[in-house]
Amino acid sequence: MTENMMSTEDRFTPDVSLRRNDAQHRYELLVGGKLAVQTFYRDLPGHIDFTHTETSPDFEGRGLGKVLAHFALDDVVAAGKRIIPHCPFIAAYLRKHEDYEQCVDWPEQPVRTGLGA
């Protein structure tokens, strides 16, 4: 599990923490120790396939999903894996943040295996 206490995406209070929860195949954003946002993924060879993102009703509308998306996508890129955005929220985030484009295999495209083209 990786954990990060800061993000440059949005400002938030110091009681926010971010982590990758490998056991439950999700990235998590906690506020005051309470799970606020989670994005689920499938760990595939060379890829992380984001499938679904949920925000707890008490934390909606605060921009916390963007903070978690930024953390999760940076973590995938740092691990040398590619991103598959089946999750509509992650897909929308990626369309607004084109700096990830070189690391994305959109679902309608064939998944890259790293073998010569």
Our measurement of the distance from residue 12's CA atom to the centroid of its chain's CA atoms, rounded to an integer in Å, reads 18
- Confidence at 8, pLDDT banded by 50, 70, 90: very low
> In sequence order, what are the residues at sequence separation of 6 or more whose Cβ sits closer than 8 angstroms to the Cβ of residue 20?
1, 2, 3, 26, 27, 28, 72, 75
C-alpha 69/C-alpha 29 separation (Å) is 10
What pLDDT score was predicted for residue 13?
56
Q: Is the pLDDT of residue 112 over 80?
A: no
**Stated pTM of the model:** 0.81
What pLDDT score was predicted for residue 12?
47
C-alpha 60/C-alpha 27 separation (Å) is 17
Q: What average pLDDT does the segment 77-84 reach?
A: 98
- Confidence at 11, pLDDT banded by 50, 70, 90: low
